[in-house]
């Protein structure tokens, strides 16, 4: 079953289908400052499971790096997702997908954690090794 999402003003609509590659929480400073929360809930999808349904012309990139491209609506400013073109993956923020059953399995970028979470889930210092990170874990 596909899941649809939209920005706050509704100009940009997106859709994901199938199952995400991973779901969890990111503690990096970019996610924290962008969301205004102590960490951000993410769902990672392959590019072929993701499409923009409407309003692609209103989607802009805040341009952090070529590897990590946060996308927001130019009308309402809502952040919807971060594209990882070199990995072929897109992180659609869980808050963007109201019908997705969120089943987190991991915390990432925990070296930057400001609010400790003791939920028994694995905690990676940065990114998984398969995504170019160190793959190192930190204690719960």
Cβ atoms of 24 and 105 within 8 Å: the answer is yes
Nearer to Zn ion, 21 or 75 (CB): 75
Inter-CA distances, 132 with 10, 66, 126, 128, 136, Å:
34, 14, 9, 7, 12
Question: What is the pattern of x (binds Zn ion, CB under 5 A) and - over residues 17-46?
Answer: ---------x-x--x---------------
* Backbone angle region of 94, left / alpha / beta, with phi > 0 → left and psi within -120 to 50 → alpha: alpha
Nearer to Zn ion, 50 or 78 (CB): 78
Question: What is the pattern of x (binds Zn ion, CB under 5 A) and - over residues 61-100?
Answer: ------------x-xx------------------------
Q: How many residues bind Zn ion (CB under 5 A)?
A: 9
Among 7, 41, 100, 110, binds Zn ion (CB under 5 A): 7
Closest contact distance (angstroms) between CB of 80 and Zn ion is 8
Q: Could you give the CA distance from residue 86 to residue 68 in angstroms, rounded to a whole number?
A: 9
Query: Residues with Cβ < 8 Å from 116, sequence gap 6 or more?
Result: none
Nearer to Zn ion, 18 or 138 (CB): 138
Closest contact distance (angstroms) between CB of 114 and Zn ion is 12
Query: Residues with Cβ < 8 Å from 65, sequence gap 6 or more?
Result: none
Binding site for Zn ion (CB under 5 A): 7, 9, 11, 26, 28, 31, 73, 75-76
């Amino acid at each position: 079953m596909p899941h649809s999402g939209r920005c706050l003003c509704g100009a940009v609509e997106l859709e994901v289908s199938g199952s995400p590659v991973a779901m969890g929480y990111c503690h990096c400073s970019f996610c924290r400052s962008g969301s205004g929360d102590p960490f951000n809930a993410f769902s990672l999808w392959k590019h072929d499971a993701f499409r923009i349904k409407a309003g692609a012309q209103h989607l802009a990139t805040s341009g952090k790096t070529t590897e990590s491209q946060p996308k927001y609506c130019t009308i309402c400013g809502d952040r919807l997702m971060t594209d990882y073109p070199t990995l072929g993956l897109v992180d659609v923020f869980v808050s963007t997908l109201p019908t997705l059953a969120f089943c987190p399995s991991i915390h990432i970028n925990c070296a930057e954690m400001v609010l400790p979470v003791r939920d028994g889930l694995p905690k990676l210092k940065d990114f998984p090794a398969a995504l170019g990170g160190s793959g190192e874990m930190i204690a719960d």
